[in-house]
Structure 1
């Protein structure tokens, strides 16, 4: 038990500090459990059981199905309908965001829904004269609320369902069973309505306006002191050198972004362009470094571009500024701009980027990228469509000519309806229905066979496979019994519904600093033991943990969708606390009361 508690502690520290990627931490835990089998009681078969667990396979299949739906553009079309309805009315914009996100997230995994709608909602905000900060956080929150409408709304629900079924079978607890498709939909609807009402009233007033409504990226990213223009003198030592050779990057943290010669502007690719006297170079660096470069290379300072149009000149309509969000599963996570050869690989210049609320201008090439980091890039317009199709990014702007398979919408919708119908009306397990749906999408051409592998967020799959054995170890060593007994001791002072509320609050707090899936695996066994100790309904406690883990509003790292809107919304950590904490507290009472009403505690 002590060994397992030690592994849990190490896991929590690694999750919070992100010293290793979450999926790598999960695999490390899985390996440690098997190596320490004499103490953890986890055999090789049990250690690897996470990979064959129905929850893992179901989540994998649902990610593929969600990608199939997104390829048809149906979610984007719904978003644009709402955009047309909302116009410039700020309340309608917010209502449209919630309505377009919540119900859809009940039937398509909510993480891809947010990834799809970030550019739609950002464009809606700018066109309507609203700060995107007023809409993007509600987008994330609405997706979490909508995810609680059905079993398949979020991977957390699927994992909680399988965990409850396994514990029920192992312990012989009849009330513990796998969730049916609409097991808690009635409670989910109440939670969604209450959450939406909060976001439309109190939440709207608490939301900041971090990003300007007019969408001036240079002002938003505070680039005024980091972009400058210089004229190359005839006596400059860089004359005759290529742009790539012009600046000693080992000595100076600077990039040449564009070159103007005789009224003609060159941006990308310019690395091999030979510099001539009179060339005007736009350089990204701070003022102190610029002065040093000007002295060393005999350059004349002329000023700085101050607005987006100056970096997107009318003479060069093929250039634009845009934000890219690093999404989960991206090959860039853990890498640097330098190690990925970002500029050459994507034909784009990185001007600055945001990471966990911090705007970074200096030594960008040396910092490792994380999920949710938002890059401000300058790129040719013809490369935006290519970037929007890249699985590494969420493009925070809809491409002008999106390549959607709209003719496949009926097949995609029919497949989702078929999966939901089979799992809820027929004696078919959800994992079988989901896998059959994957086959159907390929057979009907909604997805190409090669896209199956690209559709899966392998980080999530490895995370699930790694943490599932940790929950088993907690049970088998008696750790869950001990923790459950400790919490159950509060039953001497609180009624059963009070202990249920304690579990909800504690789960929501721990989910705010670790993965929502990890918190479910750790908390459900403890909740079951505590409920049995006080003679309460274990299923009610499982539901409380599930709802709390799936609605982590208070931190940007509590849920992936919060990370996706962190950069484009320009939020700070405090924004999540200010807007999310009252909502979390409100829903703790609403959810617990609903569970007590619909299920005997």
Structure 2
């Protein structure tokens, strides 16, 4: 009796420490192990036996096998059918997860199913924008609920069948467990979606609140993500992303394309847009409105402008002369527009070759320019000795203004336009589209070749000149349909090949003071910079022209392979090393073969599941599915120590005879009340025992009690043995009760109390359904 009191005290103390959470669970486990050994409840051999138990080896092997499946991309592909549900409601996701886990557990070892489903569930949580704690526990519960589906799917079912046969009774058939298990699975799923979902960690009164990771909370990615839809007949259809001007005009970064239900992540700049495409972009919300619609710029017929434009403009050909200050300067640096109000229509070298990028190419001696402007302004260039004498051509026809290279487009600035109050440079019509405002109609007066500092006023009619292609790009941007993104879009933007992460400038960087434009960052590294974190603030505007500083963090998006190259560059530090890992797709066949071999060898009984898992883990490393260091990192050592240190508690319960003592006192008290009461007590004792005692020894312990009770009370032994088997599998209320719970404990960030909160009421529901249904299926 003294030993029994000490055992109860140790169990109560452990529960208090587990629930309170003041001490780490693995440390609590070590204290329990020490207390059991020091009080003599278990021998030293029994105390340390947990570290070599099959449960510990199985869990350890499963951690490595899961890591191998993840590293080779197999887990991602296995979960793709379920991941398609990412944008559905949380209820649908939980039902799909639990149902899939339950069905798989009928065919495969429950722990193995949990190991396979773990990375899939983590990916689903990320893609749906939810905390992993919202999905991992329902997944594990689905595994446990579906475990007893057949006579060979769990150790408890196998042992219960053997116990009946050893006692001389007809054993259970393979599918005898299916009706009751199916009812319990349905009941369990209904409980989780109706009640348990509100108990899960991270729950909120708001429905389906998206989970925000550290990058999301710092950079507020969701508030800067938008989608743009290409309408039917859009001028942007058929253009590449570069030609669309989304980046140069709107400062937007294209992160992905949705096309006919398929998501294309980190598309190439040369990707051509199609009608119906949805473009996922990152940028400032105000810039989306800049050229969109007609509330800021409205295309207008060219009515009265023709005559006045003809009277005021002249085109002239000239040559850059020796000693001209223009030599070595670009169009912008020469200030031809600002100082002389002259526009460069085209540029040819001295050899007669046409220059494509007129804005960036520096002038050279002998260059031939086609200029446009007022006659007086053009003559001033010659007077100042900047160019050779002009060969002027007065504009006699509007067709001369609309050359092969240029077209005209009049656009009205309506009242309330964000253009009002900005100068022509700030309008970005030139920098973004290569368009020139050659005139402004204002109050029936025409201002020729306005200065770039000219302030735009409401009701101004801007006469834009540029290539037809550039003008159509502006019209195409106006027709884009802006939509708000789905809550889980941030998570959707990552995949096996693409990621978003932070890159820091290293202390030894040589890039400080340089801009992203100078570095050609996108072209050189293949990554898009979404924001720069500097002095506690995220900057998103004019990133290309922002000089880099020590301590800057770049939020980058792109291929993991590109990020891997950045990680090797001494100028940068990539903090998240996992982000640089490209899946070893060429090793996927090996990982699949190893996992199938582990499953088949265990299912067919060739070797024990622990040996199969350990052998499979070794083969994963041997065949290069992951490195030995990655294998060690994959093991959750806190979980391993927790399992190993708590297993002796089950031995102590058996040594002290606690289970038999409780049963021997309770069953006689209810024996006269009918079979349902006997089933209830037997279920209660077994389900309490399964929280601390491994399933196999618990069934072995309870089988003789069930059979002797059936004989003494003249009750069907099949009814009571089925009760023991089902109750032994109902290990929902403790992380110690099943390896499936332990596998998800760290990834889900669960505490001991989290299992109790949802596990205890679920156990009561399952117990109520079993007590009601078992005597019907197996009459006494």
TM-score range, shorter chain: 0.5 to 0.7
Paired residues for 1:569-584 under 5 Å: 577=757, 583-584=762-763
Q: Give TM-score scaled by structure 2 length.
A: 0.43
Structure 1 residue 467: Cα displacement: 3.2
Contact 2:649/2:693 (<8 A) preserved: no
Structure 1 residue 211: Cα displacement: 7.8
Aligned counterparts of 1:595 and 1:493: Cα–Cα separation in 2: 18
Paired residues for 1:226-237 under 5 Å: none
Which residue matches 2:539? Answer: 313
Which residue matches 2:369? Answer: none
Aligned counterparts of 1:180 and 1:16: Cα–Cα separation in 2: 42
Deviations along 1:42-93, one digit per CA (max 9) or x if unpaired, are 4333333333333333333333333322333333334344333554566654
Contact 1:93/1:125 (<8 A) preserved: no
Q: How many residues align?
A: 429
Structure 2 residue 417 is matched with structure 1 residue 414: no
Could you say what secondary structure the match of 1:318 adopts?
strand
Structure 2 residue 534 is matched with structure 1 residue 534: no
Could you say what secondary structure the match of 1:549 adopts?
coil
Structure 2 residue 29 is matched with structure 1 residue 26: yes
Contact 1:98/1:139 (<8 A) preserved: no
Which residue matches 2:58? Answer: 58
Deviations along 1:302-350, one digit per CA (max 9) or x if unpaired, are xxxxxxxx85432477249xxxxxxxxxxxxxxxxxxxxxxxxxxxxxx
Contact 2:620/2:626 (<8 A) preserved: yes
**Structure-2 change in CA distance of 1:539 and 1:214 (3 Å):** closer
Which residue matches 1:84? Answer: 84
Aligned counterparts of 2:13 and 2:701: Cα–Cα separation in 1: 20
Could you say what secondary structure the match of 2:79 adopts?
helix
Which residue matches 1:232? Answer: none
Could you say what secondary structure the match of 1:476 adopts?
helix
Could you say what secondary structure the match of 1:587 adopts?
helix
Structure 1 residue 544: Cα displacement: 3.3
**Structure-2 change in CA distance of 1:60 and 1:152 (3 Å):** farther
Deviations along 1:129-184, one digit per CA (max 9) or x if unpaired, are xxx37x9535421322224545899xx967x689x69x98xxx9789x9x999996
Which residue matches 1:383? Answer: 575
Which residue matches 1:72? Answer: 72
Which of residues 645, 648, 654 in structure 2 aligns to 1:475?
A: 654
Contact 1:72/1:404 (<8 A) preserved: yes
Q: Larger helix proportion, structure 1 or 2?
A: 1
Contact 2:140/2:741 (<8 A) preserved: no
Which of residues 470, 474, 489 in structure 1 aligns to 2:668?
A: 489
Structure 2 residue 732 is matched with structure 1 residue 546: no
Pairwise CA RMSD: 5.6
Greater C-alpha Rg: 2
Aligned counterparts of 1:104 and 1:405: Cα–Cα separation in 2: 26
Could you say what secondary structure the match of 1:142 adopts?
helix
Q: Which runs of 5+ in 2 are unaligned?
A: 221-501, 509-535, 544-551, 557-571, 711-716
Contact 2:732/2:763 (<8 A) preserved: no
Contact 1:151/1:181 (<8 A) preserved: no
Contact 2:61/2:613 (<8 A) preserved: yes
Contact 1:75/1:116 (<8 A) preserved: yes
Contact 2:733/2:755 (<8 A) preserved: no
Aligned counterparts of 1:319 and 1:36: Cα–Cα separation in 2: 57
Structure 1 residue 201: Cα displacement: 6.2
Structure 1 residue 483: Cα displacement: 1.8
Aligned counterparts of 2:598 and 2:698: Cα–Cα separation in 1: 29
Structure 1 residue 494: Cα displacement: 4.2
Could you say what secondary structure the match of 1:404 adopts?
coil
Aligned counterparts of 1:208 and 1:317: Cα–Cα separation in 2: 32
Could you say what secondary structure the match of 2:51 adopts?
helix
Aligned counterparts of 1:431 and 1:542: Cα–Cα separation in 2: 24
Contact 2:32/2:645 (<8 A) preserved: yes
Deviates more, 1:20-29 or 1:475-484: 20-29
Aligned counterparts of 1:507 and 1:567: Cα–Cα separation in 2: 28
Paired residues for 1:39-58 under 5 Å: 40=41, 42-58=42-58
Contact 1:109/1:147 (<8 A) preserved: no
Aligned counterparts of 2:507 and 2:4: Cα–Cα separation in 1: 54
Structure 2 residue 184 is matched with structure 1 residue 191: yes
Structure 2 residue 638 is matched with structure 1 residue 459: yes
Structure 1 residue 222: Cα displacement: 13
Contact 1:111/1:560 (<8 A) preserved: no
Structure 1 residue 470: Cα displacement: 3.0
Structure 2 residue 359 is matched with structure 1 residue 123: no
Deviations along 1:428-447, one digit per CA (max 9) or x if unpaired, are 43334333333433343334
Could you say what secondary structure the match of 2:539 adopts?
coil
Contact 2:732/2:762 (<8 A) preserved: no
